[in-house]
Amino acid sequence: MKSLTLLAPAKINLALDIVGTREDGYHLLETVFQSVSIYDKITLTLTEESGIALTCNEPEIPCNEKNLVWKAAAAFLKETGLTCGVRIHLEKHIPSQAGMGGGSSDAASVLMGLNELTGKPLHPEDLCRLGVMLGADVPFFVYGGTAYAEGIGEKLTPLPAIPKLTLVVAKGSGGISTPEAYRAIDALENPEHPHTQELKAAILRGALSEELWQYCGNLFEAVTKLQDVADIRSVMYDMGAAFACMSGSGAAVFGVFADENAALRCQQTLAERYPFSEICYTV
């Protein structure tokens, strides 16, 4: 039996704005995605018997057809017409309800891993097409790195790699419901929008990291009701962060540090107060 183990990276949103709504109710966004070095680990094993078997180290994660990992495997097998089965073990490290794309990254890794194990019957564009049916940001994780996204997140423009950054990422015990966050966005009147287009232009011209922060931001911060988000951000700034912001619709907050020692002190301080606190890097 063929097996393959992959690392599925998390993401942060350096900028995230909502710019409209489609007729079907989906929100139109502009964002700059960035992969970071916090990973879930996925082990795929092809089996002679058909069917999908999923296990996970976290007991609260559903190991059935409701899981995006399961859905990704089923979509791949249906698309390729393969009759083999697959056994999947998911080792979670990316926090849930964090705005870090853990489920989407896991789904993308399953698509790419199964494609590798079965002799690459699908092109990356095919994997993205399958991915967007699972989640709007799944196609980003097929490529990773730094990218500008628009539409519902599926229209990607790869961007040059930004300078390597040292980050502290932390999350409290609460999560944020994405549908509720979008409803709150809809109720805003004359919100202050982040400068996503300016950030994209700065990255394209190779701006230094110090210039990038003036364009970063997240519209969802205007509607979050979690006190942990504000408190974590405040701690990060107090301990030397050059910039701190919520990722996605929340509830994780990332802080950018020029000094590794300051990042370590901040991470340790936050770890004493919150269930998730890690140092990571842009990748």
**Segment 242-246 mean pLDDT:** 96
Mind listing the domains of the chain with CATH numbers? 3-158 (3.30.230.10), 166-281 (3.30.70.890)
Place of tokens 């015990």: 173
Task: List the catalytic residue out of 11, 92, 171, 200.
Answer: 11
> How far is it, in rounded angstroms, from Cα 32 to Cα 191?
19
Q: Please say if the pLDDT value at position 264 is more than 90.
A: yes
Q: Verify whether residue 137 is a known catalytic residue.
A: yes
The predicted-structure confidence for 94-104, as pLDDT tens digits, reads as follows 999 899 999 99
The band of 154, judged by pLDDT with boundaries at 50, 70 and 90, is confident
Quick one: pLDDT at residue 182? 85
Quick one: pLDDT at residue 209? 87
Q: Verify whether residue 231 is a known catalytic residue.
A: no
Higher pLDDT, 168 or 181: 168
Pairing of β 27-47 and β 146-150: antiparallel
The band of 175, judged by pLDDT with boundaries at 50, 70 and 90, is confident
Q: What are phi and psi of 34, to 5 degrees?
A: -145, 125
| Rama region for 81: left / alpha / beta (φ>0; ψ in -120 to 50; rest) | left
The two tokens of residue 194 are: 């982040």
**Segment 124-130 mean pLDDT:** 96
The band of 199, judged by pLDDT with boundaries at 50, 70 and 90, is very high
The two tokens of residue 50 are: 């058909």
Please give the single-letter amino acid code of residue 30. E
The predicted-structure confidence for 204-231, as pLDDT tens digits, reads as follows 999 988 899 999 999 999 999 899 999 9
> How far is it, in rounded angstroms, from Cα 58 to Cα 115?
26
pTM of the model: 0.94
Mean pLDDT of the chain: 95
Do the Cβ atoms of 277 and 270 come closer than 8 Å? yes
Task: List the catalytic residue out of 17, 106, 137, 228.
Answer: 137
